[in-house]
Amino acid sequence: MIKIAIIGSGLAGISTALLLKDQADITLFEKARGVSGRMSTRMAEPYLFDHGAQYFTVRTDAFRSFVHPLLDAGVIARWNANYVELDRNKIIKYKDWAKEEPRYVGVPKMNSVNKYLARNLKIKVNTKIKKLEKGSTWSLLDDEGNKYSEFDWVITAIPPRQVTELLPDSFKYHEDIKKIEMYPSFSLMLGFKKELNIDFDAAKIINSNVSWISIDSRKPFRNNYFALIAQSSAEYAAQNIRRDKTHVIEYLIQETSDVLSQDLKSAVHKNIHGWLYANAVDQGKNVEFFDIDEKLAVCGDWCCGGRVEGAFLSAYNLAKIFREHYF
């Protein structure tokens, strides 16, 4: 059985491991202390914030088959949110998601999904891979000087900039991936002692430096501690991603207050997370990066439309190529 190293344990990396686990001995490497990637949850007792992906849809048969057991296991649930679209602070569209295509969230938090999927996989967390070495097989070196050897294949499931920094120039698609640009994003997390009077559960906003607002405490099976997420526009994040954290928090609180027409400075918990690589400028459509000569491959949501489903489909497509051309 061949050995495969997968770098990154978001949905793309985990899905690849699950789809290939019967044909290969797989180890995942994750620089963070736990799995999840963009499907992450920040916990600040008693508040829970899905500070990455807010929800996901299911539009292909392949992903539907993958998701169905998660519904049966109670790991995900449908989010029937009251949704609006705002032009700054004016409602221009309203939708009842109970009457629309299903939107799903993790239960009791978004990172529950990948934790459940990864429960039987071999994963090394707190392990940041810094370098690859090629001999008869691949070796991986982490930032602590540890070496992991004798891998026949290496698959990366990380943002494109990190791919090109890690994989050698000999990788067939190195220059193609190097051209892919990613937008950054901020996620503002606010916790309150009391429920705020907000008439919607989720909102998409235009003509503001806030692009999305979600009342995370109103998602299915959450606790009753009022938690609000506000995500910045890509343009604001690009201009301010290196700015002082306190400045960004204060600015986005004021901007979100203006959008909601109420003062949010009463929040008892205030924090922010900056996603350096949030979304690709031009999201790939079923782009495949499979180098059989170097035995290197790449997957990720940015290869396949950018959404949660795209992360799975990128893994699904890659696993299909492995089975057709290698196993």
Q: Which two tokens stand for residue 169?
A: 């120039």
From 281, 296, 319, give the residue that closes a domain: 281
Asked if residue 322 and residue 250 are part of one domain, the reply reads: no
Give the residue with greater pLDDT, 171 vs 282.
Answer: 171
In this structure, the answer to whether residues 31 and 82 fall within a common structural domain is no
Quote the CA–CA distance of 183 and 248 in Å, as a whole number.
17
Of 281, 298, 317, which closes a domain?
281
Same domain, 307 and 207: no
Task: Report the alpha-carbon distance of residue 219 to residue 202 in Å, rounded.
Answer: 10
Same domain flag for 58 and 155: no
Residue where a domain stops, chosen among 281, 297, 315: 281
- Summarised one tens digit per residue, pLDDT across range 293-321 is 999 999 999 998 889 999 999 999 999 99
Q: What is the CATH number of the domain that holds 169?
A: 3.50.50.60
Query: What is the predicted pLDDT for the residue at 327?
Result: 77
Whole-number Cα distances in Å, 129 to 146, 152, 284: 9, 16, 25
- Give the number of domains in the chain: 2
Tens digit of pLDDT for each residue in 55-106? 999 999 999 999 999 999 999 999 999 999 999 999 999 999 999 999 999 9
Classify 245 as helix, strand or coil.
helix
One domain, residues 295 and 168: yes
| Coil/strand/helix, residue 291 | strand
Whether 92 and 203 map to the same domain: the answer is yes
Residue spans of beta strands (DSSP E) within 135-181: 138-142, 147-151, 153-156
pTM of the model: 0.95
Q: Residue 130: give the domain boundaries.
A: 1-35+118-180+282-327
Shared-domain flag, residues 206 and 270: yes
Tell me, yes or no, whether 137 and 277 share the same domain: no
